[in-house]
Structure 1
Amino acid sequence: MSDPWDGSGGQATRSRTSRVPGQRASDADATRLPGGRSGSRAAARSHGGRRARRAGRGRRALRIAGICLALLVLGTAGVGWWFYEHLNGNIDSVPLDGKGGTEKADAFGRTPIDILVMGSDGRTSKADCKLGGGCSRTGVQTGSNADVQMVVHVSADRSNATVMSIPRDTMTHVPACKDGETGQSTAGYYGQINSALQYGPACQVATVHQLTGIPISHFVKLDFSGVVKMSDAVGGVSVCVNNNVYDTYSHLKLSKGGHTLKGVAALEFVRSRHGFGDGSDLGRTVSQHIFLSAMIRKFKSAGTLTDPSAVYNLADAATKALTVDEGLGTVKKLIGLASDLDKVPTKRMTFTTMQTAPDPADSNRVVVGAGAKSLFATIADDKSLTTGSGKKSAAASATKKATASAVPASEVAVTVENGTGITGRASAVATALTAKGFSPRTATANAPSSATTTTLTYGTGEKGAAQTAAKALGLPASHLKQGAAPGLVLVVGSDWPGGSGFPGGSSSSASADSKAAVADAHASTADEAKTCAKVSPYRTVSLNGVPMTPAQAYAAARSKPDSDE
């Protein structure tokens, strides 16, 4: 992938069943095994509208001013240069060596960004031992597992993003790997996905890439103390819970309602597994999405980026907290990444969890479930899970209608006409069609005249065949029209200057129906500020040896202070 940012200058995941299995030992006492422990009114009057617009412009101006101030500090001699070198010195980077594949550019030469974000459970320092527990017998440890794994995809046009969590208890094939720093290696094995981090971050990236088919060109890893530093640097993260909760394992204790979490309280929230959902890792991914959505909104707020002290603290904390690949190993590159992420509106940032099913060999583990391949394909094909308005995409219903009357590709022949004036366009599209199994009678020709808009014309009774071709090419239904003559004629217009898939469409044989992609994936968007984490109604925790619900534990532990006190 070309680098766009460097210019010149423990507890097992469970499927939801009628009863919750008995609990294991707490995280602090769990035995370490390969694979991890058991993570305005409706309308304003005209003058009110003007005020709102002025306020909106003011907030944007403040954000821009804050970013410029930060860049000015970084670019100034003396203290600014020291600050820049100081931040660069904070960054810990390691090579990725192309283990995650390479993203493909779209028809306009723009490239998506795919990053694997990992939360390490390692107790590799005294600080992490204190925060994570479990070091009383072993002392400071050397290995770690990726107990949080999120694939972050930013679209090529920077209009949307998808964050997909992969439950840590997923069973998969780990490829042959060797950690370049420790020398620890494996010939490959079938095991829990989070265990791949024991052989280095590049091995974890390779494992996720192999499982999903999603090209991953970068990674970001942070540990327990990193979560604490980042939450403190932004002044706390606002979340809410729908009931009283006390997770006796992560030690999270909060009353029903909203809270601003800093430091250790923030770590307890994102680590809480027994407190939310069904008490498994699947419920934890949803609460983590709520936390990250709130943090993103905080990053994007005017106040965060207009306070020089906040900018410094955030930059210092981030560079100290993260381990990244060498492609992100400078301040300039991290600023470039932050700028790309800032372009995506929160209503078009979709959070999902990979669909799972119980592992037939072990009910305490999971495997890739139905719908996951559609989700993987959606991300790999750079397709958005939201519309331009931020609503869930309606592509699924359109696809279902098309599929209902679709004709097999092998029975469909298309005459592809070049209306672009670009040599070879018709041939490129026709070749793509035959490669997808369309009839060898597919032919090419020059259009009678130049065309600005691509159209697919079909004869009477041939709508199903046209829909089959349109789906394969990613051509929206608005580009289809019925004509008087029989047969399918595709005129490639200047709105399709290159590539075998229509720009912004949903092409490819694996192209996903967006609703199928997010079915049972707990999808949400980052603008959902009123969403509260759902406290588990099951007896997922234990207090003084007595199993109880998190709300019952909260009532029984009156003497213990709440996490945010």
Structure 2
Amino acid sequence: MGSDARATASDCKLGGACGTAGGARADVEMVVHISADRSNATVMSIPRDLRSSWNGCHAAHHPSMGPQSSQMINSALEGGPGCSVVAVHELTGIPIDHFMMVDFSGVVTMSRAVGGVPICVDHDIYDPYSHLKLKEGPHVLEGQAALEFVRTRHGFGDSSDSRGRTAAQHIFLSSLLNQLKTKGTLSSPTRMWAIANAATQSLTVDSSLNSPTKLVGLAGDLNKVPANRVTFATMQTHDLKVNGVWQTLVTNPGANNMFKSIANDQSLTAAASPASPSIAPAATAVATSAIAVQVQNGTIVRGRANTIAQELLRRGFSERTAAVNGTPATATSLAYPAGHIRQAKAVAEALGLPVSVLKQQSGTGIVLVIGTDWPSGTSFPGSKTAPAPVDTQATLDGANVKLGNDNATCAQVSTFKTAIGLDASGKPTSSDRPTSSTTPTRAYALSPEVKDSAP
């Protein structure tokens, strides 16, 4: 997470608007997954303006919001990084084991600790709002210049501040990864110890990562992943006008496929492996689209029922399938009304449930209770049903993919009039967020008196 908080004097100086920014926002959120066998990794960015609902942390930190209120996901950080973890988990269904959070001064410190990060831009660029000013071509960014690059919202891409900035951040991070790998930094205990020491002063982390030793261990895991097996992607969204206001929402099925691939430890850098042999279907096939399931959470794992309900929806079960809270249960069970044994077996087959969990009831619908014997995953423990391989092409469609070994891509400077802070003549405006009236490249030409961020 990247926090926009101005909690210290150095952050105020770097970020501006000290005392006016309000509560902290997670202006950058990325889910980083390193596969269990360390053969691949996925870095998925979540747009900061995504509308989402989360149940955790509302009562303590958002008293004016109901449990199902929709907010921009970056506002969850008002309740601390733990609330952001809850929000991301409830959105994606991905178990989040650790978190790292960095503020403005942390970016400055860490970029210096690694010796700078090589990047390039495809045209001259000046963004008066972030102060990034670079000549077309390659540069090595560290300190404040690195912060200006990753913060720039009005200089890159297709004039969409979220997508353009995210693409630039992926370029920055992939270059950083290659820098650390090619120089042997990740495999050098001495070098990594120095960086880890700097990180402990610059990052806010969970208790499992709160020492240089633990951070060096994490770096060792990352070093095992080949750069060409690291996928940088942005979850797919679409914009929709709701009550006259544009909102950014999740796009299905692409985003859900991406969530699924990460949760099931499936690589996105190669074609999906052949599916495991399927369990024999019920004697008489039934249309899963007509089967609605009420999924009840009998565990203490937040969002557990929603994870299973989303899996059933992904497998084509009725849109009336829903997740609800349930009473505590030690054993998973699947109850069905008389005459619906075939429908119940179809549910069991999809989730790898043994026949022993099925039971007939007097109700009218199929009810799946998730017990403490099934705390994670979407296939019942011990079943022969492996997670269905994701369609890699469909999952990555529209996700602005970049591989970790791609060192040739330059950040694309916006060709739109997105430069905030200058009028058409190149003169600074007094308004904090004036109407954009020139392109970043034109702004560079109009501002010879402004020093470049890096040579």
- TM-score w.r.t. the length of structure 1 is 0.58
Q: Which residue of 2 aligns with 1:245?
A: 125
State how far apart, in whole Å, the 2-side matches of 1:268 and 1:262 are.
10
Kindly tell me: are residues 324 and 345 of structure 1, through their superposed partners in 2, closer, same or farther at Cα, counting changes over 3 Å? same
Matches within 5 A, 1:92-107: none
Q: Which residue of 1 aligns with 2:33?
A: 153
Is the Cα–Cα contact under 8 Å of residues 124 and 142 in structure 1 kept in the other structure?
Answer: no
Alignment equivalent of 2:163, drawn from 268, 282, 288: 282
State how far apart, in whole Å, the 2-side matches of 1:277 and 1:195 are.
24
Kindly tell me: are residues 499 and 231 of structure 1, through their superposed partners in 2, closer, same or farther at Cα, counting changes over 3 Å? farther
Is the Cα–Cα contact under 8 Å of residues 176 and 185 in structure 1 kept in the other structure?
Answer: no
AA partner of residue 228 (structure 1): V
Is the Cα–Cα contact under 8 Å of residues 33 and 41 in structure 2 kept in the other structure?
Answer: yes
Is the Cα–Cα contact under 8 Å of residues 277 and 283 in structure 1 kept in the other structure?
Answer: yes
State how far apart, in whole Å, the 2-side matches of 1:304 and 1:438 are.
43
Q: Which residue of 2 aligns with 1:195?
A: 75
Alignment equivalent of 2:348, drawn from 400, 410, 435: 435
Q: Which residue of 1 aligns with 2:6?
A: 123
Kindly tell me: are residues 310 and 500 of structure 1, through their superposed partners in 2, closer, same or farther at Cα, counting changes over 3 Å? same
State how far apart, in whole Å, the 2-side matches of 1:311 and 1:548 are.
43
Q: Which residue of 1 aligns with 2:172?
A: 291
Identify the range of structure 1 (527-536 vs 294-303) with the bigger mean alpha-carbon deviation.
294-303
State how far apart, in whole Å, the 1-side matches of 2:215 and 2:345 are.
37
State how far apart, in whole Å, the 1-side matches of 2:74 and 2:205 are.
17
- Is residue 314 of structure 1 aligned with residue 204 of structure 2? no
Kindly tell me: are residues 411 and 248 of structure 1, through their superposed partners in 2, closer, same or farther at Cα, counting changes over 3 Å? farther
Q: How far does residue 542 in structure 1 lie from its aligned partner after superposition?
A: 3.6
Kindly tell me: are residues 433 and 500 of structure 1, through their superposed partners in 2, closer, same or farther at Cα, counting changes over 3 Å? farther
Matches within 5 A, 1:542-561: 542-546=420-424, 547-561=437-451
Q: How far does residue 174 in structure 1 lie from its aligned partner after superposition?
A: 2.8
CA-to-aligned-CA distance 1:98-144 (integer Å, 9 cap, x gap): xxxxxxxxxxxxxxxxxxxx000000000000000011xx27x7731
Q: How far does residue 184 in structure 1 lie from its aligned partner after superposition?
A: 3.9
Cα root mean square deviation, aligned: 3.2
Q: Which residue of 2 aligns with 1:380?
A: 263
- SS at the partner of 1:273? coil
Q: How far does residue 500 in structure 1 lie from its aligned partner after superposition?
A: 2.7
Q: In terms of Rg, which structure is larger?
A: 1
Is the Cα–Cα contact under 8 Å of residues 193 and 212 in structure 2 kept in the other structure?
Answer: no
CA-to-aligned-CA distance 1:181-211 (integer Å, 9 cap, x gap): xx64545431100000001111100001001
State how far apart, in whole Å, the 2-side matches of 1:314 and 1:249 are.
30
Q: Which residue of 1 aligns with 2:109?
A: 229
Q: How far does residue 304 in structure 1 lie from its aligned partner after superposition?
A: 3.4
Kindly tell me: are residues 332 and 535 of structure 1, through their superposed partners in 2, closer, same or farther at Cα, counting changes over 3 Å? same
Alignment equivalent of 2:219, drawn from 323, 338, 341: 338
Q: How far does residue 301 in structure 1 lie from its aligned partner after superposition?
A: 2.5
- SS at the partner of 2:150? helix
State how far apart, in whole Å, the 1-side matches of 2:417 and 2:212 are.
46
Kindly tell me: are residues 178 and 333 of structure 1, through their superposed partners in 2, closer, same or farther at Cα, counting changes over 3 Å? farther
Alignment equivalent of 2:48, drawn from 158, 168, 171: 168
Q: Which residue of 2 aligns with 1:86?
A: none
Q: Which residue of 1 aligns with 2:228?
A: 347
- SS at the partner of 1:153? strand
Q: 5+ unaligned residues in a row in structure 2: which ranges?
A: 286-343, 356-377, 425-436
State how far apart, in whole Å, the 2-side matches of 1:372 and 1:366 are.
13
CA-to-aligned-CA distance 1:229-248 (integer Å, 9 cap, x gap): 11101110000111111112
Is the Cα–Cα contact under 8 Å of residues 539 and 548 in structure 1 kept in the other structure?
Answer: yes
Is the Cα–Cα contact under 8 Å of residues 352 and 523 in structure 1 kept in the other structure?
Answer: yes
- SS at the partner of 1:436? helix
Is the Cα–Cα contact under 8 Å of residues 167 and 411 in structure 2 kept in the other structure?
Answer: yes
Is the Cα–Cα contact under 8 Å of residues 410 and 437 in structure 1 kept in the other structure?
Answer: no
State how far apart, in whole Å, the 2-side matches of 1:555 and 1:498 are.
65
Name the % identity: 47
Kindly tell me: are residues 412 and 536 of structure 1, through their superposed partners in 2, closer, same or farther at Cα, counting changes over 3 Å? farther
- SS at the partner of 1:131? helix
State how far apart, in whole Å, the 2-side matches of 1:548 and 1:147 are.
25
Alignment equivalent of 1:366, drawn from 248, 255, 265: 248
Kindly tell me: are residues 434 and 530 of structure 1, through their superposed partners in 2, closer, same or farther at Cα, counting changes over 3 Å? same
Alignment equivalent of 2:415, drawn from 537, 549, 552: 537
Q: Which residue of 2 aligns with 1:300?
A: 181
Matches within 5 A, 1:398-547: 410=282, 435-437=348-350, 499-502=383-386, 507-508=387-388, 511-546=389-424, 547=437
Q: How far does residue 312 in structure 1 lie from its aligned partner after superposition?
A: 5.1
- SS at the partner of 1:304? coil
State how far apart, in whole Å, the 2-side matches of 1:307 and 1:394 are.
34
Q: How far does residue 407 in structure 1 lie from its aligned partner after superposition?
A: 13
AA partner of residue 348 (structure 2): A
Is the Cα–Cα contact under 8 Å of residues 543 and 553 in structure 1 kept in the other structure?
Answer: no
Is the Cα–Cα contact under 8 Å of residues 200 and 211 in structure 2 kept in the other structure?
Answer: no
AA partner of residue 120 (structure 1): S
Is the Cα–Cα contact under 8 Å of residues 351 and 385 in structure 2 kept in the other structure?
Answer: no
Kindly tell me: are residues 234 and 213 of structure 1, through their superposed partners in 2, closer, same or farther at Cα, counting changes over 3 Å? same
CA-to-aligned-CA distance 1:534-562 (integer Å, 9 cap, x gap): 11111111453331111111111112111
Q: How far does residue 336 in structure 1 lie from its aligned partner after superposition?
A: 1.9
State how far apart, in whole Å, the 1-side matches of 2:7 and 2:400 are.
33
State how far apart, in whole Å, the 2-side matches of 1:253 and 1:267 are.
12
Q: Which residue of 2 aligns with 1:323?
A: 204
Kindly tell me: are residues 436 and 308 of structure 1, through their superposed partners in 2, closer, same or farther at Cα, counting changes over 3 Å? closer
Kindly tell me: are residues 330 and 564 of structure 1, through their superposed partners in 2, closer, same or farther at Cα, counting changes over 3 Å? same
Q: How far does residue 315 in structure 1 lie from its aligned partner after superposition?
A: 2.4
Kindly tell me: are residues 175 and 301 of structure 1, through their superposed partners in 2, closer, same or farther at Cα, counting changes over 3 Å? same
Q: Which residue of 1 aligns with 2:294?
A: none
- SS at the partner of 1:558? coil
Kindly tell me: are residues 257 and 411 of structure 1, through their superposed partners in 2, closer, same or farther at Cα, counting changes over 3 Å? farther
